[in-house]
Amino acid sequence: MNKQHSPRHKHVPQRTCVICGEKREKRGLTRVVRSAEGELQVDPTGKMEGRGAYLCEKGTCWERAINSAALSRALRMTLTDEDRKRLQQARP
């Protein structure tokens, strides 16, 4: 008896935007990291060490992340003016 196997579905990691709460594929979001030194960095690879938070590509989410306390809370840090500038430059 010949068994036919159904095609395997590859697992696609899902992450949530910390601003709008929308779930998406990890690759469709941008990871922002607080490093061990307490520095904010934008992580295009999604593999940097440190506490991370994800932002979708919507301009409104990036604007709220820069101007509100939501990203600060998610990363458990206070954003400096330099951090906000770095986010503004990385904005899609």
Structure confidence at residue 88 (pLDDT): 95
Look up the CATH number of the domain holding residue 32.
3.30.1230.10
**How many domains in the chain?**
1
Q: What is the pLDDT of residue 7?
A: 79
Distance between terminal CA atoms of the chain? 54
Domain assignment present for residue 4? The answer is: no
Task: Give me the residues of the chain with pLDDT under 70, please.
Answer: 1-5
Query: pTM value?
Result: 0.86
Res 92: pLDDT? 85
Q: Which two tokens stand for residue 6?
A: 């159904």
For 21-34, the pLDDT digits (tens) are: 999 999 999 999 99
* Spatial separation of the C-alpha atoms in residues 66 and 85, rounded to whole Å: 8
Residue in 16, 8, 19, 2 with CA at minimum distance from that of residue 67 = 19
**Domain of residue 44, residue span:** 14-90
For residue 42, the model assigns a pLDDT of: 96
Domain assignment present for residue 25? The answer is yes
Q: Report in angstroms the alpha-carbon separations of 9 from 5, 6, 12, 64.
A: 12, 9, 9, 35
**Residue that the structure tokens 């992340």 belong to:** 65
Would residue 46 count as lying in a domain? yes
